[in-house]
């Protein structure tokens, strides 16, 4: 096997941080295995094993270097074709006490909670308890906005709803926990207006998924936490995953979230009044449990083919000026470097960042959980996947090392 130089990889780090995206036709998650190349379907066992070990070793070096440079603290997992090639933890669950973490420690997923909320809605859709094309007001009569806003608009972030976080920050007693049931009363109190007509455009807004959690509760007959536990977490063996309950607090082996400043150093980000709202955030999990969810999305036993197709189809085709879009609970994009479609969600909230990326065509999954919210690792996430793809399909890569050089040190985020 031809050796791939470090300069070539760091070339990819710089290059992928500068490229855009192009038009995309979504590759359904369930058809990924059918779309594998002949090389992937019938590999030379010895050669493939060497490639996999080389990938694992080089990707581990990337994580090690990022940790050594104090860019993250947490859990990582990289898998291909359903097999975990690398799983590792770095640093401390509690920076003050120097409590070492392992694979069992839970992280706040932040907005990476949204795919679970969308999955819960789609399960109720399959049970014919919710029609996603019907108005939200049909299901929640006190919903204080237009009848034209449908459940699907919420799922796709195309409702035009105002952001509850900003309004609550200005108009709520922060000594009192803000919950999903406080959404409509708050909007009525401040006479909040929509930003645009339903379906007119994409606007990422946490309010959408906070209302979806209310829909899950009303039409399942259970709390949002219990429904996800019994319909998603328990069936998939996600024993370390839970929805945060503001009344009960966080259980043992839950990682603390941190930020960093030159003046204060590393400081803990405590639970706050907005942590009472879930659906848009609020799920705690591990990299290993997230991988169980990732693999379940390949199976007809978990979601129907129709539901998966809805989930993984963008609201409108991607283009140069609309560089990513939402399906139902997932962002979708295509990179111009390797032409690969990625289905993903990132998260940020009070001391945590999370990255969950799946490449359906090549069955690659990258999960990176970080309990520091002051740094972003997005460029490295992209580069890891492109590096892996370059080993599988070297004919697609014609980067000029002399043109880009080793730019990692000069282009950190």
Residue-wise DSSP of 162-174: PPHHHHHHHHS-T
As a whole number of angstroms, the distance between CA 413 and CA 348 comes to: 16
Q: What is the pLDDT of residues 200-223, one digit of tens each?
A: 999 999 999 999 999 999 999 999
Contact 40, 306 (CB under 8 A): no
* β-strand partners of 92: 100
Q: What is the CATH number of domain 6-404?
A: 3.40.710.10
* Residue from 208, 244, 277, 198 nearest 106 by CA: 244
Beta-strand (E) ranges in 95-179? Answer: 99-100, 107-108
Looking at residue 174, its pLDDT comes to: 95
Give the position of tokens 């040190």.
Answer: 409
Pull the structure tokens for residue 172: 């709520």
Give the position of tokens 């994580």.
Answer: 63
Pull the structure tokens for residue 3: 């050796």
As a whole number of angstroms, the distance between CA 226 and CA 146 comes to: 30
Pull the structure tokens for residue 250: 């966080």
As a whole number of angstroms, the distance between CA 235 and CA 203 comes to: 33
Half-sphere exposure of 100 (CA within 13 A, CB side): 3
As a whole number of angstroms, the distance between CA 303 and CA 91 comes to: 36
Which ranges of 229-341 would DSSP assign to H, the alpha helix? Answer: 287-296, 305-311
Q: What are phi and psi of 391, to 5 degrees?
A: -75, -35
Distances from the Cα of 245 to the Cα of 17, 242, 249, 266, 325, angstroms? 38, 9, 6, 26, 31
As a whole number of angstroms, the distance between CA 373 and CA 263 comes to: 16
DSSP state of 365: E
Per-residue pLDDT of the chain (413 residues; tens, 9 = 90+): 444 445 444 444 444 444 333 333 333 444 333 333 333 344 444 577 888 899 999 999 999 999 999 889 999 999 999 999 999 999 999 988 999 999 999 999 999 999 999 999 999 999 999 999 999 999 999 999 999 999 999 999 999 999 999 999 999 999 999 999 999 999 999 999 999 999 999 999 999 999 999 999 999 999 999 999 999 999 999 999 999 999 898 888 999 999 988 898 889 998 999 999 999 999 999 999 999 999 999 888 999 999 999 999 999 887 766 767 889 999 998 776 666 788 999 999 999 999 999 988 878 999 999 999 888 888 899 889 888 888 887 776 654 343 333 333 333 33
As a whole number of angstroms, the distance between CA 153 and CA 133 comes to: 8
Beta 258-261 vs 265-268: how paired, if at all? antiparallel
Contact 210, 281 (CB under 8 A): no
Q: What is the pLDDT of residues 137-169, one digit of tens each?
A: 999 999 999 999 999 999 999 999 999 999 999
Give the position of tokens 């049970």.
Answer: 127
């Amino acid at each position: 096997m031809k050796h791939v130089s470090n300069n070539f990889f760091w070339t990819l780090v710089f290059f992928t941080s500068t490229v855009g995206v192009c038009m995309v036709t979504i590759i359904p998650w369930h058809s990924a295995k059918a779309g594998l190349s002949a090389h992937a379907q019938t590999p030379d066992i010895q050669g493939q094993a060497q490639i996999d070990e080389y990938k694992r070793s080089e990707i581990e070096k990337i994580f090690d270097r990022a940790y050594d440079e104090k860019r993250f603290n947490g859990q990582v997992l990289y898998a291909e074709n359903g097999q975990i090639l690398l799983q590792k933890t770095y640093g401390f669950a509690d920076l003050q006490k120097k409590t070492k973490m392992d694979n069992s420690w839970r992280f706040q997923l932040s907005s990476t909670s949204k795919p679970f909320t969308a999955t819960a809605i789609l399960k109720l859709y399959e049970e014919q308890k919710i029609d996603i094309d019907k108005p939200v007001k049909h299901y929640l009569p006190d919903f204080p906005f237009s009848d034209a806003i449908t459940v699907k608009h919420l799922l796709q972030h195309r409702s035009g709803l105002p952001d509850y976080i900003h309004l609550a920050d200005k108009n709520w007693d922060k000594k009192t926990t803000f919950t999903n049931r406080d959404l409509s009363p708050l909007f009525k109190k401040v006479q909040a207006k929509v930003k645009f007509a339903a379906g007119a455009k994409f606007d990422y807004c946490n309010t959408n998924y906070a209302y979806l959690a209310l829909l899950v509760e009303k039409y399942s007959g259970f709390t949002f936490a219990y429904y996800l536990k019994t319909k998603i977490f328990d069936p998939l063996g996600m024993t370390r995953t839970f929805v945060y309950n503001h009344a009960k607090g966080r259980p043992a082996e839950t990682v603390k979230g941190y930020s960093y400043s030159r003046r204060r150093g590393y400081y803990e980000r405590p639970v706050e009044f907005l942590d009472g709202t879930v659906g848009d955030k609020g799920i705690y999990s591990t990299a290993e449990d997230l991988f169980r969810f990732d693999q379940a999305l390949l199976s007809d036993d978990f979601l129907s083919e129709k539901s998966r197709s809805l989930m993984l189809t963008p609201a409108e085709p991607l283009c140069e000026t609309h560089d990513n879009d939402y399906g139902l609970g997932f962002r979708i994009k295509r990179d111009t470097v390797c032409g690969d479609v990625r289905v993903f969600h990132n998260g940020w909230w009070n001391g945590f960042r999370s990255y969950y990326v799946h490449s359906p065509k090549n069955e690659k999954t990258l999960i990176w959980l970080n309990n520091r919210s002051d740094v972003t690792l997005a460029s490295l996430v992209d580069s890891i996947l492109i590096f892996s793809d370059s080993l599988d399909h070297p004919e697609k890569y014609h980067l000029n090392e002399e043109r880009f050089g080793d730019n990692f040190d000069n282009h950190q985020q």
